[in-house]
Amino acid sequence: MTQNADATVLAMKGITKTFPGVKALADVDLEVRTGEVHAIVGENGAGKSTLMKILAGVHPPDEGSVTIEGEQMWFNSPLEARRQGVGMVYQEINLVPDLTVAENISLGQLPSSAGFVNRLELHRTAARVLKELGTRLDPQEMVGRLSVSQQQLVEIAKVYASQPRIVVFDEPTSSLSEHEAKALFRVIERMRSNGIAIIYISHRLREVLDISDRVTVLRDGRIIDCRSTEGLTPPEMIRLMVGRDLDDVFPKRHVAIGNPVLEVAGLTRLGVFEDISLTVRAGEIVGLAGLVGAGRTEVARALFGLDRYDAGTIRLHDSEVRIRSPKTAVRAGIAYIPEDRKRDGVALSLSVKENISLPVLRQVARLGWLQRGAERRMTQQKAEELYVSPPAIDRKVATFSGGNQQKVVLAKWLASEPTVLILDEPTRGVDVGAKADIHTIIGELAASGVAIIMISSELPEILAVSDRVYVLHEGRLTAELDRSAADEESVMSAATGEAVAA
């Protein structure tokens, strides 16, 4: 399997892919060599996952070719891609919890004789694979009893057992601690030295710099650069990814910070988060950082009344409030821009107008009867203020791009004139232009005295925009960092629970 180093294993040429309304990839070339770790970086929506889905046989490309070891590939299904030696490790675990490690590893290609599973062979394969990857998992253990990071190793072993030539890792460390991530890197190193080409996708730039040999940068569906990792720095990479300096994407306005607006003390939802205390002042943007599953969204949902809380107090403008439902939250002046835009944010089959006015219908109605003209004026104005493009308020939200749908969600909540605004991943899946627009709006809101809580998984975003950062780890606050003290390192170590609260 191992050939001379530098031999090209995978060549994707001129890949173009258009989805209704969006050109996801335009003339993309990618070349991966034997025994290299090739990182692909880019913002959400840059086209990384579309490119990988083409490689995995999920989507056929509109144009372009894929060759593996010089052989032209026509992938019509994920199964075919796997047979041709493409292995995928996604961030979600796809294992059967009630089967053993060995059974999961060989699932889909169980060794059998006369229709019966050959258990001896099954365990021999699993033991060999696990050993080659340098892990110490017991093949007989039930997968359901393993930790998330151990399950991920089983997932990797499963891919490895199919003898791939190329393995794609898609955000493999997003729910791992630093220690667990290190173990993962050792496994990747093993695979590489066994002659497998690795494609590595991650948002954690430091990680990319540590592990990869070469980096390909994607932006808006195009290749921006492909270069050796050596000598590259995180700021340089960010500039390549976003196409401009960080300050242009996340403009930070200097705003006079006023009195505390929202004061939360000891907020607890049993088994989800515990003893959360935080303060947000007028004009202040407070970042809420943490890994996936740390409880950030859950805290936000409780503050907005979407989930109950079991203990703790919430004070708004110096008086205690009890938030029981979104209705009481809205009445108290809280607005929440949800993480899952499609689920909690917009009603896709309704028009922009109908979406924006939904929480504030009473403002545009008299005795329950809608005043068409008033509604039209109000929503048109909001749509224009928020740069919804095009500002066609009668058009169904489903026909707008992700970034514009997010602006519709913002418009909807600004119509309720909140004093506290909670933003949960406000720019996820949004292109750079819309991202800058959204941050300009957030800055304007802060300047007008709104107290803002922002949740984001993108550290550069949190660090660039926040006046203060609270860090959550497993449902508890592990750090409160001032703008001057917050950097990638201090936030990550608190987020992985490796630092004690300051």
Partner 1 sequence: MTSAATLPPRVTEEKTANKILGWIALPVGILALLVIGSLLSEQFFTTRNLTNVLINMSIVGIIVVGMTFVFIVRGLADLSVPAMVAIGALLTLSLQPSLGSLVGALVGILAASAAGLINGLFIGYFRLNPVITTLATGTIVLGIAQAAVGGVIVYGDDPALQSFLTGRIILGIPTIVLIFLAVAVGGHLLLSQTIFGRWVYAAGSNPDATKASAVPLNFTKAAAFWMTATLSGFSGVLLALTLQTARPGIGTGYEFDAITAVVVGGVSLLGGFGNVPRAIGGLLLVTLLSNIMVLNGIPTASQGLVMGALIAGAVALDVYLRRRGGAA
Contacts with partner 1 by CB under 8 A lie at 16, 18, 20-23, 26-27, 62-63, 221-222, 304, 306, 325-327, 329-330, 336, 338, 343-350, 354, 357-359, 361-362, 365, 368-370, 389-390, 395-396, 398-401, 404, 412
Least distance from partner 1 to the Cβ atom of residue 391, Å: 11
Three-class secondary structure of residue 210 per DSSP: helix
Phi and psi angles of residue 477, each rounded to the nearest 5 degrees, phi first: -75, 125
What is the rounded CA–CA span in Å between residue 425 and residue 386?
17
Least distance from partner 1 to the Cβ atom of residue 434, Å: 10
DSSP E strands in 163-290: the ranges are 166-170, 197-201, 214-219, 222-228, 260-269, 273-281, 285-290
Q: Nearest to residue 408, comparing CAs of 438, 377, 451, 368? A: 438
In the chain, the N- to C-terminal Cα span, in Å, equals 51
When the beta carbons of 311 and 347 are compared against partner 1, the nearer one is 347
Q: How many other CB atoms are found less than 10 A from the CB of residue 410?
A: 27
What is the rounded CA–CA span in Å between residue 369 and residue 367?
6
- Residue 441 identity: I
Least distance from partner 1 to the Cβ atom of residue 355, Å: 8
Bridge-partner residues for 117, per DSSP? 112
Least distance from partner 1 to the Cβ atom of residue 397, Å: 9
Least distance from partner 1 to the Cβ atom of residue 200, Å: 27
When the beta carbons of 355 and 493 are compared against partner 1, the nearer one is 355
What is the rounded CA–CA span in Å between residue 195 and residue 325?
56
When the beta carbons of 15 and 143 are compared against partner 1, the nearer one is 15
- Residue 274 identity: E
When the beta carbons of 330 and 442 are compared against partner 1, the nearer one is 330
In the structure encoding, which two tokens stand for residue 214, read together?
A: 């070469």
Sequence-distant (6+) residues with CB within 8 A of 92 are: none
Least distance from partner 1 to the Cβ atom of residue 412, Å: 7
Least distance from partner 1 to the Cβ atom of residue 271, Å: 22
When the beta carbons of 130 and 329 are compared against partner 1, the nearer one is 329
Least distance from partner 1 to the Cβ atom of residue 357, Å: 8
When the beta carbons of 423 and 495 are compared against partner 1, the nearer one is 423
What is the rounded CA–CA span in Å between residue 124 and residue 52?
32
When the beta carbons of 304 and 309 are compared against partner 1, the nearer one is 304
The answer to whether 334 touches 304, Cβ cutoff 8 Å, is yes
When the beta carbons of 326 and 429 are compared against partner 1, the nearer one is 326
Distance of alpha carbon 430 from the chain centroid: 11
What is the rounded CA–CA span in Å between residue 75 and residue 81?
6
